[in-house]
Amino acid sequence: MDLRRLRYFVAVAEARSIGKAAERLRMAQPPLSVQIRKLEAEIGAPLFRRGTRGMDLTEAGQALLSRASEALALAVDGAEAARAVAAGKRGRLSVGYMFVLANAILPRLIPELRRSVPGVDLEFAELSASTREARVLDRSVTVALCMPAINHPEIQVARIGAQRFMLAMPTSSPLARLGSVPMARLHGRPLIALPHPDHGPASSAVVPLLRRHQVVMPIASRVETVHSAMSLVLAGEGLAILPACAQLGAPRGIVFRPLRDATDSLDIAVCWRRDSQSPLIGTFIKCAEKAVARM
């Protein structure tokens, strides 16, 4: 059962004549006649009544015609759909994001995306620091908005911005009265530590910063998320050194201050599987850059 034969069959049925159909198909009449007879042999029954004034569908032919047309349309549609997906005009884009970035980026990113790729189904999913790598690798998200970038040989990264570290403390803290806090003033104070994803759960993202300034902060607690860190800060357990955008999700009672003489920052990056040839990734990066630029 060949699709070409079905196409020929439909053409002959519509033209009610082999000669006319051959003309429309830009081919000679005899080969078309042969193909029709082969189709009839394959079906095992005549599909046309041959009259002296042309061809006319038999009832068996009518039964075939409707389905053959549908099958043709589906095949064409399938090819077009595949092309559209490959061109990034349709398809699905699953966006993973870390929650710290949600308030800062998503409100600008989502409208931008809907405008840029209107035919695409968008999906958003929050990523935790511990699972983000796996979610990219198993393709359950197409791209991930991360801070910092994922470090993995199979995962490609595009840096789209950075966030300075700031000191987060209770409003009541004496340091809150300063416009910016000198690093030296942190010495000896308890730290709420977030692990750096590349250095294992017992690490902290700010170890290099503290070491460079020869500041020692005893670790009061280790937490997984920026929001947990802020909760503990509010509870008076210690101070936290967090990326600036965390302010947007900070509860009342917490203030952020810049660190004097410290320009360290965390990269904001788009991360995706190196072998994911989705054409949507390029567009996504552009949108994300725009969103970050207006932050």
Partner DNA sequence: GTCAACCCATATATTTTCGGTATGCCAATG
Partner DNA sequence: CATTGGCATACCGAAAATATATGGGTTGAC
Interface positions with its own copies (CB under 8 A): 1-4, 6, 42-47, 49, 58-64, 66-68, 70-72, 74-79, 81-87, 90-92, 275, 277-278
188 binds, among its own copies, DNA, none (CB under 5 to 8 A by kind): none
Contact between 84 and 230 under an 8 Å Cβ cutoff? The reply is no
Task: Report the Cα 143 to chain-centroid distance in Å.
Answer: 4
47 binds, among its own copies, DNA, none (CB under 5 to 8 A by kind): its own copies
**Torsion, CA 32, CA 35, CA 41, CA 44, rounded to 10:** -80
Q: Is 34 in the site for DNA (CB under 7 A)?
A: yes
DSSP symbol at 152: -
Comparison of 15 and 85: residue with beta carbon closer to its own copies:
85
Binding residue (CB under 7 A) for DNA from 14, 19, 65, 227: 19
Q: Is 55 in the site for DNA (CB under 7 A)?
A: yes
Q: How far is the CB of 153 from DNA (least distance, A)?
A: 11
Q: Is 163 in the site for DNA (CB under 7 A)?
A: no
Comparison of 53 and 177: residue with beta carbon closer to DNA:
53
Comparing C-alpha atoms, which of 269, 249, 113 is closest to residue 168?
249
37 binds, among DNA, its own copies, none (CB under 5 to 8 A by kind): DNA
> What per-residue string of b and e applies to 209-226 under the rule 16 or more CB within 10 Å gives b?
bbeebebebeebbbbeeb
Contact between 74 and 102 under an 8 Å Cβ cutoff? The reply is no
Q: Is 54 in the site for DNA (CB under 7 A)?
A: yes
The residue type found at 117 is: V
Q: Is 33 in the site for DNA (CB under 7 A)?
A: yes
- The enclosing H or E element of 6 equals helix 3-15
- Rounded to whole angstroms, how far apart are CA atoms 153 and 155? 6
Comparison of 68 and 105: residue with beta carbon closer to its own copies:
68
Q: Is 5 in the site for DNA (CB under 7 A)?
A: yes
* Positions that interact with DNA (CB under 7 A): 2, 4-5, 17-20, 26-38, 50, 52-55
